[in-house]
């Protein structure tokens, strides 16, 4: 009997089977099953929660929430589309925001520096896993062998011309050679 490891949701590691599943089923995984989808859901839920807390008066700084929406939601859209730059931007913004929170707590002398750090450690592994999947996907380059009449882009599914070196829609690299 094959023994499986007990994997934690907050682990920074992706086992090879999970990584393979994420790549092979990239376009068909539910949003709750793909790391890029989970990353988008996390950011969306946190923004929504902040918005609700602002409306009920628990969190009074609405301008911060407004800028969070303006900045995070477009980035979340591009994260879901699979753009590596957006995942990196999300990771950088999340880290900067938590460092700024710790700085604010230290400057004011009230509050806990532990809370932002805990949030960072809870959320960042999902962003990291989404980036890891995108990095592995980037390594995949379709190879077309011989004379093929119809070929499709591995990334976006668009039909491309046989002699193309890149997909005209998404820019994915195509390698061709004759047998």
Check whether 123 has a pLDDT greater than 90.
yes
Q: In sequence order, what are the residues at sequence separation of 6 or more whose Cβ sits closer than 8 angstroms to the Cβ of residue 26?
A: 34, 82, 133, 137
Check whether 2 has a pLDDT greater than 50.
no
Q: Residue ranges of the domains in the chain?
A: 16-139, 141-179
Check whether 33 has a pLDDT greater than 80.
yes
pLDDT tens track for 82-121: 899 999 999 999 999 999 989 989 999 888 899 989 999 9
Return the pLDDT at 12.
87
Return the pLDDT at 106.
93
Return the pLDDT at 4.
45
**What band does 49 get if pLDDT is binned at 50, 70 and 90?**
confident
Check whether 161 has a pLDDT greater than 80.
no
What is the per-residue DSSP string for 84-131?
HHHHHHHHHHHHHHHHHHHHHHHHHS-S-SHHHHHHHHHHHHHHHHHH
Q: What is the mean pLDDT of residues 37-46?
A: 94
Q: Buried b / exposed e across 103-132, counting CB within 10 Å, b at 16+?
A: eebeeeeeeeeeebeeebeebbbbbbbbbb
29-33, 84-88, 98-102, 137-141: the lowest-pLDDT one: 137-141
Check whether 9 has a pLDDT greater than 70.
no
Output 161 or 133, whichever has higher pLDDT: 133
In this prediction the pTM is 0.73
């Amino acid at each position: 009997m094959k023994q499986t490891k007990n994997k934690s949701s907050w682990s920074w590691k992706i086992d090879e089977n999970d990584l393979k599943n994420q790549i092979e089923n990239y376009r068909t995984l539910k949003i709750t099953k793909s790391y890029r989808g989970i990353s988008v859901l996390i950011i969306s839920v946190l923004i929504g929660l902040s918005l609700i807390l602002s409306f009920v008066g628990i969190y009074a700084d609405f301008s911060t929430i407004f800028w969070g929406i303006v900045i995070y939601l477009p980035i979340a859209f591009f994260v879901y589309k699979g753009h590596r730059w957006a995942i990196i931007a999300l990771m950088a913004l999340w880290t900067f925001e938590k460092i700024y929170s710790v700085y604010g707590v230290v400057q004011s002398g009230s509050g806990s520096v532990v809370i932002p750090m805990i949030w960072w450690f809870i959320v960042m592994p999902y962003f990291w896993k989404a980036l890891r999947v995108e990095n592995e996907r980037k390594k995949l380059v379709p190879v077309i062998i011989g004379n093929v009449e119809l070929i499709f882009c591995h990334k976006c599914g668009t039909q491309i011309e046989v002699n193309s070196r890149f997909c005209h829609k998404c820019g994915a690299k195509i390698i061709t050679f004759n047998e």
